[in-house]
Chains A and B, each alone.
Chain A
Amino acid sequence: MAEHEQGSGARDPAPHGSAPGDPTADAWYFAVRLGEGRYAFDAPLVTEVVRLGPLTRLPAAPPFLPGVFTHRGEILPVLDLGELLLRRGTELEPGARAAVVQAGPWRVAVVADEIEGLLSVPRRRLEQPPPGHGASEFLRAVAVDGAEDLAILDMVRLVAAARARSVPS
């Protein structure tokens, strides 16, 4: 279990094209696996990686919110990324990993098929997402890291859209 505490004001990741930062520097992302694909979002958003406790299911909750659990006295809502992006519920085993993410004002515990962890990608590897890619609305970039493509998500927008229940079906 990796613990990765960042300052409260997470720096904004540099958008593709404009480079207030060094173009040759690496960008840090947090990677997860959903089905066959790899997704990542800005590493500074992740406050910690935890293990899921027993979930309390909520009545009348949307499918991407399977429930809440308590972690060190705090009640955390669980956000199922698979359900949100692929409309496919993630199978949650007790003790599965979750990444606690602060996405704007919203604090959620993100679950996926596999929580991988931090990785850095050279900025020059970042490319425009090809058209027709699933969840392209929330895709900021794609990167080829090693042998696999990496879909860089705009997590803040994604969570806000989820909250507004305006994630397209």
Chain B
Amino acid sequence: MIGLRYALSLIGAALAAPAAMAQPVATPAAPPASEPAEVAAPTPAPAAPVPACELHVWPAARVSAITQGVGAGFGIIGALIDTAAHADQNKRDTAFITGTLDAQAQAQVLRDLDLPAKLHLPPSQVIIHDQGIDTKRDDPQRLSNSTTPCYTEFVVRSLSYFQNIAYRGQMRTFLEVRRFDGATVKLDFRDSRHEDLKVKLPKEGEDTGPATDALLTAFRGDVAFFSDKYARKYK
């Protein structure tokens, strides 16, 4: 007799919540790699010098998903009824986006894009933080404790999904770049970009694969478009 063998592996817990917010994704450390066998070490190649500049990156601190029906167009009462009618769907979509585009997934996309090159920054050490952060327009201070003179911040401010009778489904990413001269911010560029999703977000029990791919593609497209726009504007 052949017994089925299931490996149940856990990847960290995320929190979603009252629409328009997603709590930070707690990402447990990956399991340690097994110790390599002891072998005669070849002469190590000289390590590449670490760039003097730093680019600090934060994933989204907020996620929201809003679907509106026709009721939204009939005043406050209509909007309330419509919100109540779509509450479960909005909760489900928010949770799905929070889980799919968690801090790890965002970090992977941002690493693949090579942000320093895209933003036309000098060679930079990229430091990706694992918790989202809220930024304020009038806050000139750095978001990290770094004191390196050549310093830039890239913040994914929020991810927002919107759908109504006119729009099938849009994924909008709100982004910000802050460049510093010493301790003071000298440039603060904010913008957003949306991509139309070709697939619907899944319901419970449906295959989440196509929507996962669509969200990752949309996020990649939004970041790439924003970065190109920034680079054109401030070249």
Do A and B originate from a single complex? no
- A→B interface (CB under 8 Å): none
- B→A interface (CB under 8 Å): none
